[in-house]
């Protein structure tokens, strides 16, 4: 098991293939041997048993021929006192064939019992042959011979033994045929069992390899999903040396670094929240006091002092006012991404109404024309969505210098997200600044031309990204600008009524 854990994935898969490649030839060899054994059994039946039956049948025929020839030779004395030699020739031919067949049987038969029967038959035929030779000699000598003596001699035990041998060989052949059929059935069962075993072994090896790969990958995927959901997770311990082990340890190091960075980020956010609290209370109060007193000084003494004094007082009032605006924008920027803002189904049209209400004075002053399409319901924070519309429309009104502002707000479904667009007919922006304008404190114009803190679009970007969307600009100088931003089109989102 230790060695297995040290193997790389490639080597594990290779090991599985090697097991399969080893099982296949071994299985083939075993099947080949079994088939060869079955073929040998059938060959024995065909070449030994059937041939031996044919030979013993020929022996029986030759014995009958020999008997008939001998009896006829004895009977021929009626017309040939010393016997008809033509008849005795067939006797000797049959005897010679019998001797040849018996020798052939001795070479064919392998069963001890059958071989013993052949030897016994051969001995009996030799003994009978001696008696037959005496009988033939007596006939040739002209001695009186009774034909019944020849018949009795030929009806000796040798014929019975030949019949017994034929019957025994038939029985052996039947047994061998049955054995061959049984061997064939066993071979078929063995082949089926062997291939089932090989298939099972291959399946087990494949399952073991797949499980050794898929299970840890599944654990890592589950852990990664929990990490992506901002859940705390302990990665499974592994002593594997393969790619999965390397990935697991790398992911573990990444999780540790991520946890450290998360702690640092929480600490930084805590400090930022403390700063926001200080800025909203401790800094705002003296600034309001400075702004109030400088405004009083301006009202009371403007025109009573020289021109330089009036200018200095104006600088002080303007500086205090701009400082208040800058602090307010910084607080808004900080809260846009750091404060927990719950998302809920939000009517885009209602959020736009809130933004337009907040911009009513600027719209009336510039006589701006706002054209709006039906906007969808989205999962968003209502206040932040209104802030997003307010900043984009406010910029469109502000950066429309010598013409009446015309602004169109629309939304279009694209795949799994809604794409919002705020298009104007203002001064436009050079495309090379399309990324720069979303950075904090980045201004493309002097404050005297277009007032502001340079934080508004940075706030927009932070709001959109907090909701998992994107924001970008399409514009040309002098041809207006179009700001696009996206919200995920999750289940249940639709156009508002």
pLDDT, tens digit, for every residue of 483-496?
999 988 765 455 55
Predicted pLDDT at 160: 46
Provide the domain count of the chain.
3
Taking the C-alpha atoms of residue 60 and residue 98, their distance in angstroms, rounded to an integer, is 9
> Mean pLDDT across the stretch 402-425?
89
| Interval 197-223: pLDDT, tens | 777 777 776 677 666 666 666 666 777
What pLDDT does residue 446 have? 58
359 and 484 in a single domain? The answer is: yes
Task: Report if residue 119 sits inside a domain.
Answer: yes
Helix, strand, or coil (residue 430): coil
Domain-terminating residue out of 321, 340, 359: 340
- Alpha helix (H) ranges present in 404-448? none
> Quick one: 293 and 423 in the same domain?
no
pLDDT for residue 291 is more than 60: yes
Which of 306, 340, 374 terminates a domain? The answer is 340
Helix-helix angle 112-141:85-108, to 10 degrees:
170
Q: Does 230 map to a domain?
A: no
Q: Report residue 148 as tokens.
A: 């019944």
Same domain, yes or no: 8 and 112: yes
Range in 114-123, 351-360, 373-382, 424-433 with the lowest mean pLDDT: 114-123
Least confident of 45-54, 66-75, 269-278, 416-425: 45-54
Q: Which domain holds residue 299?
A: 246-340
Q: Is 221 domain-assigned?
A: no
Give percent above pLDDT 70 in the chain. 47
Sheet containing 406-414: order of strands: 369-372, 406-414, 417-423, 481-488, 471-475
Tens digit of each residue's pLDDT (9 = 90 or more) over 81-122: 666 677 777 777 877 877 777 777 666 666 666 667 666 767
In a domain, 265, yes or no: yes
Contact 393, 356 (CB under 8 A): yes
Question: For residue 280, is pLDDT > 80?
Answer: no
Checking if the pLDDT of 5 tops 60, the result is no
Among 151, 183, 208, residue at a domain's last position: 208
Q: Which tops the pLDDT comparison, 86 or 146?
A: 86
| Beta carbons of 426 and 475 less than 8 angstroms apart | no
Q: Identify the residue with better confidence: 330 or 189.
A: 189
User: Using 50, 70 and 90 to split pLDDT, how confident is the model at 256?
Assistant: confident
Q: Is 408 within a domain?
A: yes
Share of the chain above pLDDT 90, in %: 4
pLDDT at 103: 75
Distance, in Å, from the CA atom of 260 to the CA atom of 318, rounded to the nearest integer, reads 44
Report pLDDT for 421. 94
Yes or no: say if 493 and 348 are a contact pair by the CB < 8 Å rule: no
Comparing 437 with 322, the larger pLDDT belongs to 437
Let me know whether 408 and 302 are in one domain: no
For residue 415, give both structure tokens.
Answer: 């795949």
What are the tens digits of pLDDT across the range 448-477?
Answer: 555 556 677 888 888 888 888 898 988 888
pLDDT tens digit sequence for 428-451: 887 777 777 777 666 665 555 555
> Two tokens at 411?
């939304």
Displacement of CA 397 from its chain's centroid (Å):
57
Three-state SS string over 216-251 comes to: HHHHHHHHHHHHHCCCCCCCCCCCCCCHHHHHHHHH
> Which pLDDT tens digit goes with each residue over 16-55?
667 666 766 777 666 666 666 666 555 555 555 566 666 6
Q: How confident is the model at residue 9 (pLDDT cuts 50, 70, 90)?
A: low
Residues 198 and 255 in one domain: no
Mean pLDDT over 383-403 rounds to: 85
pLDDT on residue 497: 46
Rounded Cα gap, residues 175 and 111, in angstroms? 12
Residue 323 near residue 315 (C-beta atoms within 8 A): no
pLDDT of 351 over the 60 cut = yes
Two tokens, residue 426: 């203002």
Can you give the pLDDT at residue 422? 93
* Secondary structure element (H or E) that encloses residue 377, with its range: strand 377-380
| 294 pLDDT above the threshold of 50 | yes
pLDDT at 77: 62
Q: How many residues does the chain have?
A: 497
Same domain, 201 and 295: no
Do 349 and 475 belong to one domain?
A: yes
**Which pLDDT does position 57 carry in this prediction?**
72
365 and 261 in a common domain: no
Residue 157 within a domain: yes
Residues 336 and 373 placed together within one structural domain of the fold: no
Q: Looking at residue 419, what is its pLDDT?
A: 93
Q: Which residue has the higher pLDDT, 344 or 77?
A: 344
Kindly state whether residue 227 falls inside one of the protein's structural domains: no
Domain presence at residue 77: yes
Co-location of 18 and 92 in the same domain: yes
Q: Residues 6 or more apart from 190 whose CB is under 8 A from it?
A: 30, 31, 34
Confidence of residue 157 (pLDDT cuts 50, 70, 90): very low
Contact 220, 251 (CB under 8 A): yes
Same domain, 434 and 444: yes
d(CA 256, CA 496): 44
Residue 183 shares a structural domain with residue 306: no
Note whether 241 and 4 are within 8 A (CB).
Answer: no
| Domain CATH for 410 | 3.30.565.10
Give the mean model confidence (pLDDT) for residues 60-80.
Answer: 69
Ordered alpha helix ranges (H), 155-306: 157-228, 243-278, 284-301
At residue 411 the predicted structure's pLDDT band, cuts being 50, 70 and 90, is very high
């Amino acid at each position: 098991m230790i060695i297995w854990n040290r193997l790389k994935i490639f080597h594990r898969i290779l090991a599985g293939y090697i097991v399969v490649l080893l099982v296949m030839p071994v299985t083939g060899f075993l099947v080949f041997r079994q088939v060869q054994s079955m073929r040998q059994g059938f060959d024995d039946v065909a070449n030994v048993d059937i041939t031996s039956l044919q030979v013993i049948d020929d022996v029986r025929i030759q014995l009958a021929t020999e008997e008939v020839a001998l009896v006829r030779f004895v009977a021929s004395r009626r017309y040939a006192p010393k016997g008809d030699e033509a008849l005795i020739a067939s006797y000797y031919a049959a005897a010679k064939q019998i001797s040849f067949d018996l020798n052939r049987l001795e070479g064919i038969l392998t069963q001890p019992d059958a071989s013993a029967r052949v030897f016994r038959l051969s001995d009996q035929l030799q003994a009978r042959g001696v008696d037959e030779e005496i009988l033939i000699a007596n006939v040739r000598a002209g001695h009186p011979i009774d034909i019944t003596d020849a018949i009795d001699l030929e009806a000796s035990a040798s014929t019975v033994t030949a019949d017994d041998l034929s019957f025994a060989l038939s029985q052996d052949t039947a047994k061998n045929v049955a054995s061959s059929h049984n061997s064939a059935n066993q071979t078929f069962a063995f082949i089926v069992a062997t291939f089932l075993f090989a298939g099972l072994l291959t399946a087990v090896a494949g399952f073991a390899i797949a499980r050794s790969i898929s299970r840890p990958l599944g654990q890592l995927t589950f852990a990664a999903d929990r990490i992506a959901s901002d859940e705390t997770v302990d990665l499974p311990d592994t002593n594997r040396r393969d790619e999965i082990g390397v990935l697991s340890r790398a992911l573990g190091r990444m999780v540790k670094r991520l946890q450290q960075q998360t702690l640092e980020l929480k600490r930084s956010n805590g400090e930022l929240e403390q700063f926001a609290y200080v800025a909203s209370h401790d800094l705002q109060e003296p600034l309001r006091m400075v702004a109030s007193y400088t405004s009083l000084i301006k009202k009371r003494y403007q025109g009573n002092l020289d021109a330089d004094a009036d200018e200095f007082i104006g600088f002080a009032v303007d500086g205090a006012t701009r400082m208040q605006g800058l602090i307010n924008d910084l607080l808004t920027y900080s809260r846009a991404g750091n404060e927990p803002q719950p998302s809920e189904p939000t009517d885009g049209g209602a959020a736009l109404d809130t933004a337009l209400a907040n911009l009513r004075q600027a719209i009336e002053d510039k006589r701006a024309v706002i054209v709006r399409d039906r906007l969808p319901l989205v999962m968003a924070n209502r206040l932040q969505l209104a802030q997003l519309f307010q900043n984009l429309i406010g910029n469109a009104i502000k950066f429309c210098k010598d013409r009446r502002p015309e602004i169109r707000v629309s939304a279009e479904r694209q795949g799994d997200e809604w794409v919002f667009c705020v298009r104007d007919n203002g001064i436009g922006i050079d495309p090379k600044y399309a990324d720069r304008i979303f950075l904090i404190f980045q201004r493309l114009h002097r404050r005297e031309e277009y007032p502001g803190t340079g934080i508004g679009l940075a706030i927009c970007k932070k709001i959109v990204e907090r909701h998992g969307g994107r924001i970008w600009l399409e514009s040309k100088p002098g041809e207006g600008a179009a700001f696009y931003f996206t919200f995920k089109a999750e289940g249940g989102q639709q156009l508002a009524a």
